Amino acid sequence: MDLNHTAGAAATATSLPASIDHSELENDGPKAFGDRMGTPASDEKVLWKGRPAVGLLARTAFHTRKLGAYFVALTAIALMMGKTDGAIVSAVLGVALLAILYVLAWLSARTTLYILTDSRLIMRIGMAIETRVNLPLKQVTAAHLRGRGGNFGDIALELSGERLLGTLLLWPHSRPWHYARPQPMLRAIPDAAHLAQLIAETRAQFGAIERNLTEINEAAPASVQHGSQPAPTPARSAPAIHRGEPGLEGAPA
């Protein structure tokens, strides 16, 4: 379903949560050391902070479940063909690759902190090179939610503005198959539905927003797929945001 929130309705229907102490942000995950792109200003209200769940991030961003199934199949085929040495090699290689991917997922979660304020979303990310990404809420035109079981999920953000973020800068915190206009994605976060609602309500102070709660598909967009595809449901028009306003920012620390 799609929910269209207006600034007036959000203001009267919902009160935003109490602010999080700014000092907590420097004691939880990667630090910004006062950098303005990664540190909320003193007059900003911090509404939420969080980071990915390691196990879920490993399965959904690093595809450990698919890789594990692949190597199990290889091992089983080798055993059925009587190739014990091949089965052992497949099993050992599979375990080693899965271990590497889980370490990468752990490192990615450890070096990630998502921060939502009353004016922007801050992403402190980067396993090798720490990057701070600043997403003004007025440039968010839609928030897409995908449930991942329990109360966990992913939230991808559609953005307007002239300054676009690169997939390589964002990965793995980007929506798959959206390379022309990358969509930052909060991955494997707890209480995702509540956060999607909070983003929509906070964004409403800058105008209406589309909050699309249909499932995010990790397949390639229909425009690059072959074969018959169902026609997409037209979305309602997003709020007009003038180009030339302060854009998106992202830079290595």
Q: What is the pLDDT of residues 184-229, one digit of tens each?
A: 999 999 989 999 889 988 988 887 666 554 444 444 444 433 333 3
The reported pLDDT for the residue numbered 187 is: 94
Q: Which of 60, 239, 225, 33 is nearest to 138 (CA)?
A: 239
The pLDDT mean for the chain works out to 76
Task: Read off the pLDDT of residues 114-133 as tens digits, 9 standing for 90 and up.
Answer: 999 999 999 999 888 888 88
Cα atoms found within 13 Å of the Cα of residue 10, Cβ hemisphere only: 19
Task: Report the pLDDT value the prediction gives residue 90, as an integer from 0 to 100.
Answer: 94
| pLDDT tens digits, 131-150 | 888 899 988 888 889 988 88
Residue 218 token pair: 């990790």
Q: What pTM did the predictor assign? A: 0.74
Cα 172–174–176 angle (5° rounding)? 95
Q: pLDDT value at position 16?
A: 61
Residue 184 preceded by cis peptide, ω within 30: no
Q: How confident is the model over 55-67, as a mean pLDDT? A: 94
Token reading at 122: 């801050």
